[in-house]
Structure 1
Amino acid sequence: MATFRTLPSGKVQCQIRKAGQKPISSTHPTLEDAEQWAREQEQEQSPANTIQLLAPLYLSEVMIKAGKKRGGYDSVENRLTVVARNLRTTALEAITKEDVVAYRSHRLNAVTGSTVRLEIQLLSRFLRWAKEEHNVACEDVTQGVKLPEAGKARDVIVEPDELRRILKWASEKSKPIIELAYETAMRRNEILAITPYMIDLDKRIIRLMGDLTKNGEARKVPLTLRAMEILKEQCKGKQVHQRIFDISPYGITQAFRRAARIAEVENVCFHSLRHTAITNAAEKGLSTVQLMAVSGHKTLSMLSRYAHVKAESIAHLLD
Structure 2
Amino acid sequence: MATFTKLPSGKIRAQVRIGGFYRAQTFDLEKNARKWSKEIEQQLKLSSTGEYIDPPKDANLEDLIVRYEEDVGGVKPFGKNKAAVLKSFKRKLGHVKLRSMSEAIVRDFVDRRVKEGAGGVTISIDLAYLRTVLGWARYVRKLNVNPDITVDVKRSLKQRGLRVRSTERTRVASPEEIEKLAGHYRKMQRAQIDMIAVMEFATLTSLRQEEICALSIEDVDLERRVMVVRDRKHPTDKKGNHSVVPILDDFVEPILKAMGSRRRGQLFPYNHRSVSASFTRACQALGIEDLRFHDLRHTATTDLFARELDIESVALFTGHKDWKTLRRYTHINPESVHLQERRKALRRASEDRSQSGSDVTTV
- Work out which of the residue numbers 234, 244, 247 in structure 2 matches 1:220: 244
The residue aligned with 1:189 is: 210
Question: Does 2:123 align with 1:108?
Answer: no
The residue aligned with 1:70 is: none
- Work out which of the residue numbers 250, 268, 278 in structure 1 matches 2:301: 278
> Does the aligned pair in 2 maintain the 1:278–1:291 contact within 8 Å?
yes
Cα pair distance change 1:125/1:267, threshold 3 Å: same
Aligned pair count reads 271
Question: Does 2:74 align with 1:53?
Answer: no
Q: Deviations over 1:47-74 (max 9, x none)?
A: 755465346434333336xxxxxxxx22
> Does the aligned pair in 2 maintain the 1:178–1:256 contact within 8 Å?
no
Q: Deviations over 1:156-201 (max 9, x none)?
A: 2112221232233344433322222221111122111111111111
Shift of 1:220: 1.5
The residue aligned with 1:131 is: 138
Secondary structure at the aligned position of 2:75 is classed as helix
> Does the aligned pair in 2 maintain the 1:166–1:265 contact within 8 Å?
no
Cα pair distance change 1:169/1:313, threshold 3 Å: closer
**TM-score, scaled to structure 1:** 0.71
Cα pair distance change 1:283/1:86, threshold 3 Å: farther
Q: How does 1:1-319 map to 2 (within 5 A)?
A: 18=31, 43=56, 49-50=62-63, 53-54=66-67, 56-57=69-70, 58-63=72-77, 73-92=79-98, 94-109=100-115, 110-140=117-147, 141-144=149-152, 145-146=154-155, 148-170=163-185, 171=191, 172-209=193-230, 211-214=231-234, 215-216=237-238, 217-240=241-264, 242-304=265-327, 307=329, 309-312=331-334
- Give unpaired runs (5+ residues) of structure 2: 3-28, 33-55, 158-162, 186-190, 338-363
> Does the aligned pair in 2 maintain the 1:155–1:308 contact within 8 Å?
no
Aligned-partner Cα distance in 1 for 2:216–2:74? 25
Which structure has the highest helix share of the two? 2
Aligned-partner Cα distance in 2 for 1:91–1:45? 7
Shift of 1:207: 0.9
Secondary structure at the aligned position of 1:221 is classed as strand
Aligned-partner Cα distance in 2 for 1:227–1:314? 19
> Does the aligned pair in 2 maintain the 1:180–1:227 contact within 8 Å?
yes
Aligned-partner Cα distance in 1 for 2:138–2:94? 19
> Does the aligned pair in 2 maintain the 1:283–1:309 contact within 8 Å?
no
Aligned-partner Cα distance in 2 for 1:117–1:200? 41
Aligned-partner Cα distance in 2 for 1:273–1:51? 41
Cα pair distance change 1:161/1:142, threshold 3 Å: same
**TM-score, scaled to structure 2:** 0.64
Aligned-partner Cα distance in 1 for 2:335–2:184? 29
Aligned-partner Cα distance in 2 for 1:250–1:239? 25
Shift of 1:269: 1.4
> Does the aligned pair in 1 maintain the 2:207–2:297 contact within 8 Å?
yes
> Does the aligned pair in 2 maintain the 1:92–1:127 contact within 8 Å?
no
Shift of 1:255: 0.9
Shift of 1:128: 2.4
Cα pair distance change 1:105/1:302, threshold 3 Å: farther
Aligned-partner Cα distance in 2 for 1:197–1:153? 34
- Give unpaired runs (5+ residues) of structure 1: 2-15, 20-42, 65-72
Does 129-138 or 294-303 show the bigger shift? 129-138
How many percent of aligned residue pairs carry the same amino acid? 19
